[in-house]
């Protein structure tokens, strides 16, 4: 089926709507610029006076113009050295907002009996709070290393290795989606995946329904649903 506008600002390809929501058992979401309206790393960088430099790397990574996402994230995080926990708190309380329709879409998925997953190249300082606010079942994201000793409470400019690996990139998002499906005893084709950047493409490619939200061109072209105006809950226009 060709790519076509199903409704103003809502483009679909590869299926004929509506799809029954009951077909799906898991909904996986990216965080930055998907569930929330900022890129957290860029806003943290602003606290260090480095937003322009960091945001340029973020934009290139999200557009798929940087081949090594892990290296791009390490470069960005290195520029955050010296930012304080208080600065992170300020980003959370004054700059982070849910995107329109995010809470409604997650609630609709949960009401339909689906499990929910948050997979992010961002940081646990934010993903854990988003998880708790929305009642999300599973998460995977990165841990910012914090200085001890004289500089206690400041970022070191590094991330902490975790039991599953070092950095949650596109490959890790895909792996976590597949592992979560396996643990639930479902097929990846029973999952919905929602994202906006190139590092979401590996998990979008595995899901039964791939959704781009105000996404980069490469992601819009490949997703089965592209929400190009309005909120995340516009997905419910093609799901019943």
pLDDT tens readout for residues 136-169: 999 999 999 999 888 889 999 999 999 999 999 9
Q: Do residues 203 and 26 touch, judged by C-beta distance below 8 A?
A: no
Stretch 166-187: mean pLDDT = 98
Q: Which pLDDT value is given to residue 1?
A: 60
- Cross-strand pairs, 195: 212
The token pair that represents 120 in the structure block = 């992010």
Q: Do residues 211 and 223 touch, judged by C-beta distance below 8 A?
A: yes
**What is the domain-level CATH number for residue 205?**
3.40.50.1000
Stretch 87-110: mean pLDDT = 98
Which residue in the list 32, 42, 169, 200 is annotated as catalytic?
32
| pLDDT, tens digit (0-9, with 9 covering 90-100), for 187-205 | 999 999 999 999 999 999 9
Whether the predicted pLDDT of 123 surpasses 90? yes
Q: Which pLDDT value is given to residue 112?
A: 97
Q: Phi, psi (5° rounding) for residue 128?
A: -65, -35
| pLDDT, tens digit (0-9, with 9 covering 90-100), for 202-217 | 999 999 999 999 999 9
30 is catalytic: yes
Which residue in the list 30, 42, 169, 233 is annotated as catalytic?
30
- Per the confidence metrics, is the pTM higher than 0.95? yes
* Residue 88 CB partners (closer than 8 Å, separation 6+): 44, 125, 144
- Structural domains of the chain, count: 1
Pick from 178, 169, 219, 239: nearest CA to 34: 219
Q: What value does the mean pLDDT of the chain take?
A: 97
- Cross-strand pairs, 159: 144
| pLDDT, tens digit (0-9, with 9 covering 90-100), for 47-87 | 999 999 999 999 999 999 998 999 999 999 999 999 999 99
C-alpha dihedral (6, 9, 170, 80), degrees to nearest 10 = -170
- Domain span at residue 155 reads 4-237
32 is catalytic: yes
Q: Which pLDDT value is given to residue 172?
A: 98
Q: Parallel, antiparallel, or unpaired: how do β-strands 155-160 and 138-146 relate?
A: antiparallel
Stretch 113-125: mean pLDDT = 98
Distance, CA of 220 to CA of 198 (rounded, Å): 10
Whether the predicted pLDDT of 10 surpasses 70? yes
Q: Which pLDDT value is given to residue 140?
A: 98
Q: Which pLDDT value is given to residue 169?
A: 98
Q: Do residues 229 and 8 touch, judged by C-beta distance below 8 A?
A: yes
Q: Tokens 């076509």 map to which residue?
A: 4
């Amino acid at each position: 089926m060709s790519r076509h506008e199903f409704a103003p600002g809502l483009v679909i390809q590869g299926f004929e709507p509506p799809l029954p929501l009951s077909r799906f058992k898991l909904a996986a979401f990216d965080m930055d610029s998907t569930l929330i309206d900022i890129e957290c790393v860029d806003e943290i960088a602003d606290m260090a006076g480095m937003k322009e430099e960091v945001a340029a790397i973020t934009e290139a990574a999200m557009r798929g113009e940087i081949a090594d996402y892990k290296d791009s994230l390490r470069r960005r995080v290195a520029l955050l050295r010296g930012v304080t926990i208080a600065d992170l708190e300020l980003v959370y309380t004054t700059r982070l907002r849910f995107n329109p329709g995010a809470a409604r879409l997650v609630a609709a998925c949960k009401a339909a009996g689906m499990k929910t997953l948050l997979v992010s190249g961002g940081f646990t300082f934010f993903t854990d709070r988003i998880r708790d606010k929305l009642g999300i079942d599973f998460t995977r994201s990165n841990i910012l290393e914090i200085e001890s000793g004289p500089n206690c409470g400041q970022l070191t400019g590094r991330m902490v290795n975790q039991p599953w690996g070092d950095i949650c990139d596109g490959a890790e998002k895909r792996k976590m989606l597949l592992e979560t499906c396996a643990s639930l005893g479902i097929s990846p084709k029973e999952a919905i995946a929602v994202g906006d950047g190139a590092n979401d493409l590996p998990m979008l490619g595995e899901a039964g329904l791939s959704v781009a939200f105000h996404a980069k061109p490469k992601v819009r072209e490949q997703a089965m649903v592209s929400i190009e105006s309005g909120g995340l809950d516009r997905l419910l226009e093609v799901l019943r």
